[in-house]
Amino acid sequence: MSGTPKKPLLLSVLSLTRNGDLLRRAANLLRRGGLVAFPSDCGYAVAARGDDAGGLGRLAELMERPPGRPWTLYAADAGQGLNHFKDPDEVLRRVAEVLWPGPLTVLARRGEGLPESVHCGLAKVAVHVPAHRLARAFLDLCRCPVVGVRVRPPRESLSLSREMLLEFHGPRLEAILEGQEPPGNLELSVLDLAGPIPRLVRQGFLGVQDFQRLLGRPPLLSSDLPTPARFTRYSPEARLVVVEGESDRVAHRLKFMLEAWGGRESALLVTSALAQGALAGLPGLEVMPGPDRPEELAGFLFGRIQSLEARDSMRLILVEGLPREGPAAAVMERLVRVAHQVINTEDPGYDGQGGLQPRIRRR
């Protein structure tokens, strides 16, 4: 019947050596523009060819992704993953050697030759090397750039079964790979290694202590969006970061960020309570008017930020967050809109305001 929904091929790989023909069939379907689902560390993922606009369009529609959003590349092993980056340094190689394959996505400067359909013109690219053996065997046979997206389970379910995958997405898939080893149920961590200081964009199975042991220092915690939606839209100029929350936590985070910044020129704009207390004597400290004087506060704050950004040597401007209710609420709303990053110390997973748009310095 013409109205019968299409069913994807179910390719059951019980042995990687004896069922190599099924893996090759899945890889061929992907190379021809098809969508292939496979088990991975964080459940099922759906893959498409990274340099095929038609396949990526279908994958974006399937996953309801907005246009212009970069993709995550999936690689079969650490060597293949590193090939997607530009001039991997010692830190990047060490992370790849120790933590790949595994539940980690790495952001770093993209290499030459990657399809623009993958990075969407941005300077970084996201790469993941799954630990699941079937996933890596499949990716190894694809012989082309492969992007993958995790299929999230319905809200009422903790994990996604094959039956759910078939029910919700089956008609739009060419094939589903399955093996004896079920999909994992781990949350991916996202580590940004493009800058001089590693930043933990998202804490998943791997946390701060895991990276501290490997790197010899804790990574900066970040409140970026949990997916690499805008991960390269930071301005290369002075970075404006707003830290809000309970006073002691804000002071602790501000001190931590100043120390991690390594002595490069920075400014710290806080209210008198912090300036005369936990942060007294720190370099670059400036006192801003209190939130009970919103007009004076706004004039000082945005005038000072503009003058600080005009300095070629200025690299980091830290600002104490203001109350989101009361007289200073409008000032805080405006501050959040122009910030590169907003950190809420009460909730490490806080995603701020998407304040990751490039802010162009005006001469």
Strands (E), the chain: 9-13, 36-40, 43-49, 72-74, 104-109, 124-128, 146-150, 175-179, 189-192, 199-202, 220-221, 239-244, 266-270, 285-287, 316-320, 341-344
pLDDT at 295: 87
In CATH terms, the fold of domain 239-344 is: Rossmann fold (3.40.50)
Domain boundaries along the sequence of the chain: 9-221, 239-344
pLDDT at 158: 59
From first to last of the 363 residues of the chain, give the pLDDT tens digit: 445 567 888 898 888 888 889 999 999 999 999 999 999 988 899 999 999 999 999 999 998 887 778 999 999 999 999 999 999 999 999 999 999 999 999 999 999 989 988 988 888 999 999 999 999 999 999 999 999 999 887 765 556 778 888 888 888 899 999 988 889 888 888 999 988 888 888 878 888 888 988 998 888 875 433 333 444 333 335 788 899 988 888 998 898 888 877 667 889 999 998 988 888 888 889 999 999 998 899 889 988 887 887 777 788 899 999 998 889 988 888 888 778 788 888 754 443 333 333 333 333
Residue 47 CA to residue 37 CA, distance in Å, equals 6
Distance from CA of residue 173 to its chain's centroid? 26
- Domain 9-221: assigned CATH number: 3.90.870.10
pLDDT at 280: 86
Residue 349 CA to residue 345 CA, distance in Å, equals 9
pLDDT at 42: 87
* Distance in Å from the first CA to the final CA of the chain: 66
Residue 250 CA to residue 319 CA, distance in Å, equals 10
Measured in degrees and rounded to the nearest 5, phi and psi for residue 228 equal -75, 55
In terms of Cα–Cα distance, which of 231, 167, 175, 133 is closest to 28?
Answer: 175
Residue 5 CA to residue 264 CA, distance in Å, equals 60
Mapping DSSP to helix (H, G, I), strand (E, B) and coil, where does residue 96 land?
A: helix
| Model confidence pTM above 0.75 | no
pLDDT at 228: 39
β-strand partners of 148: 47
Measured in degrees and rounded to the nearest 5, phi and psi for residue 76 equal -80, -30
Residue 115 CA to residue 53 CA, distance in Å, equals 10
111, 147, 158, 241 from 115: Cα distances, Å: 10, 11, 35, 32
| DSSP string computed for 8-48 | -EEEEES-TTTTHHHHHHHHHHHHTT--EEEEETTEEEEEE
